[in-house]
Chains A and B, each alone.
Chain A
């Protein structure tokens, strides 16, 4: 056969769509024909190129619009349930926290809309129990199963996936990631970085996934394996023909060891400096509080959508409220902290921003909630915490059923304490203190340094270490997000790769080191958007802590960079008097 005849077969060969005879003749031809080998490798490259394209995230409004349109057309006749706006995420946490993960597995999505399903499942259960039973029998052998059942209690440990087939270690690691149920927002694509697959030995077939830092407490994670890209060993072909996204695991809520309410804890009202010594919002260890924490964490989306103009007190220094609380790192000796971490909030920085709404007098209940929501519970708590936050006098007795506890002061007795702007925030914000730990060296000036603001983030360059820090923003305000560290590989005079299409009006294409990084990484470009101003040099101060770093820039901005990849923004209010 000549090349013209063999080419279509090469294409089919690549897809595994040839007969054994065809395969043989293709291989025979390839062995002698350079041109066709080239064609095969180009066909392959086309596939890799396509698979490497980002999978865009549908805008949040889509779901709502679809439902509205369906409702409108159906006149509501067939719509049994009340319309699930994309805001119906507020659901009470069931008594056992395992249940949502089941739903998650079910729907493969776990977005708020589908999480309303448990009720329906429970109601209909008796009627269709039999068919459920039969379906159980029919469940096919899973290609991949989660080893960890039940909740993860050690947040620093890896989780494991057992695969039913032997796969190529590199391709499984490349094609697996961990998402938060909300999908790949900036916080989610860094939740796991280390993936180790053992193809031999007692643990063969096992994929080990390590968190970046720690897993967040009280969260359901989804493990997604792009099975159609995972190569099988030996026989060739791929693990599956579509992504496996039914694997989930959840982490236990952080329940600190209960201790007696310390008598030496200063009563908030007695504190000499009221605005600084902020008492914690009323915190409880009862399940009720957990539910509330979940609820408020879900609110964010609502807040972002419905009250965009709300000038939530974010401009001014705002103790604690939006701060993602400290992750209970195993290594950190802070057992005295009796504060139940509002875990969901922390886990989803995107969501956290809306913690701000809880600051406003309007509690989250204002938004459309599914009827299951015990809004009675949610409201008082939201109010109470808002109150406690606003007035720093916070007598947390506001909540009736809960037993408020005031946080004991954490790492006292650091050998070194931060000073000036860092020191003020570190002392004022107990959660910052808990997350960062003690400073490891005194603060130091950074020279040279440069910065550039982007539509959805910020870049900072340390000239002394030739490092670029990328800060992606989660949420509309410049409050917190995720940060990344990159080596600056650009050398003076090196041309920066050009990117197709110019900057939109009012936007800038970054240049130099920022530009190189930006141009070479489409995913980063997508996340951070265009620059909103030219790069500028800046005075900066840097201080490493046990569990993070602090960065001050001369625009009087402080960014706390926690080791779990979250950053948090503060205005520097320190004045030297």
Chain B
């Protein structure tokens, strides 16, 4: 029994969710919740948006799932819904840019979060950090491609799926994104990325790429 159950893979969950099996959708949700949340978080740069847009993403996914093709690439599809949701918001904000959005981003507050959840609370306090603040200043498309590639670990093909671009367009987008990142970083910190990598992560000490 257990061996059989092990074999239920993502495709079968998708198939069952498509039929309206909410248990299967829960499984999908559980598998992708954190991934999508992290993705949106890095795109938007704050927990509030991440919360709202992750929620939107899964609600949309639930509604749209029955209309998807049988060979759905679930990961790319969810990322696409999420990036569209983010882009919509970013576009709207650009139109009304005179609003001081920054005030919303840096308001950790001292009172406990509405939901009395200790783990969740920690997230409210993440100082966005050097990298995030550089990301925040990139063109949304550049930011998206970099986050998808380096943070979410998607391949160029998959990024193409998500963003609706050809593979070669993704390659040149990534190039421009990296160039923009370099420039923003340099302007902001006065040195090139990687020149001072003395940050020590709590769990995984040292940097990754040597």
Indicate whether A52 sits within 8 Å of B199 (C-beta atoms), given known contacts A116-B23, A175-B208: yes
Provided the pairs A135-B7, A499-B127 are in contact, do residues A46 and B193 lie with their beta carbons within 8 angstroms?
Answer: yes
CB contacts (< 8 Å) of B200 on chain A: these are: 520-521
Q: Tell me how far the C-beta of B185 lies from the nearest C-beta in chain A, rounded to whole angstroms.
A: 8
Q: Is B20 an interface residue (CB 8 A)?
A: yes
A56-B41, A57-B123, A58-B54 given; A80·B110 CB < 8 A: no
The distance in angstroms between the C-alpha atoms of A207 and B38, with both chains bound, is 27
What is the bound-complex CA distance between A242 and B23, given in angstroms?
A: 24
For the complex formed, measure the closest distance between the CB of B95 and the CB atoms of chain A, giving whole angstroms: 26
- B36 nearest CB across to chain A (Å): 9
User: Once the chains bind, are A121 and B27 in contact (CB under 8 Å)?
Assistant: no
The answer to whether B208 and A81 touch across the interface, beta carbons within 8 angstroms, is: no
Would you call B27 and A117 a contact (CB within 8 A)? yes
Q: Pick the contact of B2: A41, A99, A507 (CB < 8 A).
A: A99
Q: How far is the CA of A116 from the CA of B24 in the complex (A)?
A: 11
B residues less than 8 Å from A501 (CB atoms): 106, 127
Q: Using Cβ atoms and an 8 Å threshold, which residues of chain B touch A73?
A: 59, 63
In the complex, which residue of chain B has the Cβ closest to the Cβ of A55? B38
- B22 contacts across to A, CB distance below 8 A: 78-81
Contacts of A51 in B (CB 8 A): 150-151, 208-209
Whether the pair A52, B201 counts as a contact (CB closer than 8 A) is yes
Scan B91-108; emit 1 where CB is below 8 A from any A CB, else 0.
000000000000000111
Q: Count the A residues whose beta carbon is within 8 Å of the partner chain — how many?
A: 110
B150 engages A81 (CB within 8 Å): no
Question: How many angstroms between the C-alpha atoms of A301 and B75 in the bound complex?
Answer: 29
B207 at the interface (CB under 8 A from A): yes
Number of CB contacts from chain A to chain B under 8 A: 307
Interface check B62, CB cutoff 8 A:
yes
**A305 close to B (CB within 8 Å):** yes
- Chain A residues near B146: list those with CB within 8 A: 46, 50
Complex contact A171–B4 (CB within 8 A): no
Q: Which of B33, B107, B171, B208 contacts A62 (CB 8 A)?
A: B33
Bound complex: CA of A79 vs CA of B20, how far in Å?
7
Closest to B39 in A: A55
B121 to chain A, nearest CB (A): 7
Q: Is A129 an interface residue (CB 8 A)?
A: yes
Q: Are A50 and B174 in contact (CB under 8 A)?
A: no
Tell me whether B8 is interfacial, beta carbon within 8 Å.
Answer: yes
Give chain B nearest CB distance to A367 CB in angstroms.
Answer: 14
Partner of B26 from the list A48, A56, A113, A182 (CB cut-off 8 Å) is A113
Minimal Cβ-Cβ distance residue in B for A173:
B204
Q: Could you tell me if A183 and B125 are in contact, using CB atoms closer than 8 angstroms?
A: no
Q: Mark B5-17, 1 if CB is under 8 A from A, else 0.
A: 1111100100000
Specify which of A54, A57, A132, A455 is in contact with B4 (CB 8 Å cutoff). Answer: A132
Chain A hits for B199, CB < 8 A: 52, 520-522
In angstroms, Cα B59 to Cα A228, docked, is 28
B residues 182-196 touching A (CB-CB < 8 Å): 182, 185, 192-195
**Does B175 lie within 8 Å of A7, measured CB to CB?**
yes
Chain B interface mostly: helix
Contact A107 B30 (CB under 8 A): yes
Q: Distance (Å) between the CB of B203 and the closest chain A CB?
A: 5
CA distance A391 to B171 in the complex (A): 70
A525 to B125, CA, bound (A): 8
- Residues of the B chain whose Cβ atoms lie less than 8 Å from the Cβ of A506: 110
The answer for the CA separation of A201 and B107 in the assembled complex, in Å, is 54
Query: Are B172 and A8 in contact (CB-based, < 8 A)?
Result: yes
Known: A49-B131, A135-B7. A527 touches B204 (CB 8 A): no
Contacts of A500 on B, CB cut-off 8 Å? 127-130, 133
| A177 to B132 alpha-carbon distance, docked (Å) | 24
Tell me which residues across on chain A come within 8 A of B181, comparing CB atoms: 46
| Whole-angstrom CA separation of A340 from B194 in the bound complex | 52
B34 within 8 A of A: yes
Taking each of A98, A129, A226, A241, which has the highest tally of chain B beta carbons within 10 Å of its own beta carbon?
Answer: A241
Tell me the bound Cα distance from A48 to B38 in angstroms.
Answer: 16
Does A444 belong to the interface (CB within 8 Å)? no
A135 touches B12 (CB 8 A): yes
Q: Contact partner of A529 among B34, B122, B195, B197, CB < 8 A?
A: B122
Interface of A is mostly: helix
Whether A50 pairs with B115 at a CB distance below 8 angstroms is no
- Which listed residue (B59, B109, B158) contacts A70, Cβ 8 A? B59
Contact B114–A129 (Cβ < 8 Å) = no
Q: For window 165-179 of chain A, which residues contact chain B by CB distance below 8 Å?
A: 171, 174-175, 177
- Are the CB atoms of A174 and B204 closer together than 8 Å? yes
> B3–A136 contact, CB under 8 A?
yes
Asked if B116 contacts A476 (CB within 8 A), the reply is yes
Q: What residue in chain A is nearest B182 (Cβ atoms)?
A: A42
Contact B197 A109 (CB under 8 A): no
Which among A43, A226, A243, A520 has the highest number of chain B CB atoms within 10 Å? A43
> With A499-B127, A522-B201 in contact, is A475–B209 under 8 Å at CB?
no
Q: How far is the CA of A304 from the CA of B58 in the complex (A)?
A: 26
Given A80-B22, A527-B122, residue A177 in contact with residue B204 (CB < 8 A): yes
> Which residue among A45, A473, A504 has the maximum number of chain B CB atoms within 10 Å of its CB?
A45
Query: Do B54 and A129 have beta carbons less than 8 Å apart?
Result: no
Q: For the complex, is A492 an interface residue (Cβ under 8 Å from B)?
A: no
Q: Which B residues lie within 8 Å of A330 (CB)?
A: none
With a CB–CB cut-off of 8 A, which chain A residues contact B167? 17
Q: A58-B54, A106-B8, A135-B8 are in contact. Are A43 and B153 (CB under 8 A)?
A: no
State whether the Cβ of B154 lies closer than 8 Å to any Cβ in chain A.
yes
Distance from B180 Cβ to chain A, minimum over Cβ atoms (Å): 10
How far, in whole Å, are A243 and B35 apart by their CA atoms in the complex? 10
A38 to B128, CA, bound (A): 27
CA distance A271 to B96 in the complex (A): 73
- Known contacts A42-B194, A304-B117, A499-B127; decide if A11 and B5 are in contact (CB<8 Å): no
B125 to chain A: closest residue by CB: A529
Instruction: Knowing A53-B132, A109-B30, A501-B106, say if A189 contacts B206 (CB, 8 Å).
Output: no
4 tightest A-B contacts by CB?
A45-B194, A523-B202, A228-B153, A59-B120
Other A-B contacts than A56-B47, A62-B37, A79-B22, 11 sampled, CB-CB below 8 A, are A8-B171, A44-B194, A56-B37, A57-B120, A59-B113, A117-B23, A139-B7, A226-B153, A242-B75, A308-B116, A524-B202
Instruction: Jot down 6 A-B pairs with beta carbons below 8 A, ordered by A.
Output: A56-B50, A60-B115, A132-B5, A241-B153, A507-B108, A530-B125
- Chain A residues packing against B (C-beta within 8 Å): 7-8, 11-12, 15, 17, 38-39, 41-63, 65-66, 69-70, 73, 78-81, 84, 98-99, 102-103, 105-109, 111, 113-114, 116-117, 120-122, 125, 129, 131-133, 135-136, 138-139, 171, 174-175, 177, 182-183, 185, 189, 226, 228-229, 241-243, 301, 304-305, 308, 350, 455-456, 473-476, 499-501, 504-507, 520-527, 529-530, 532
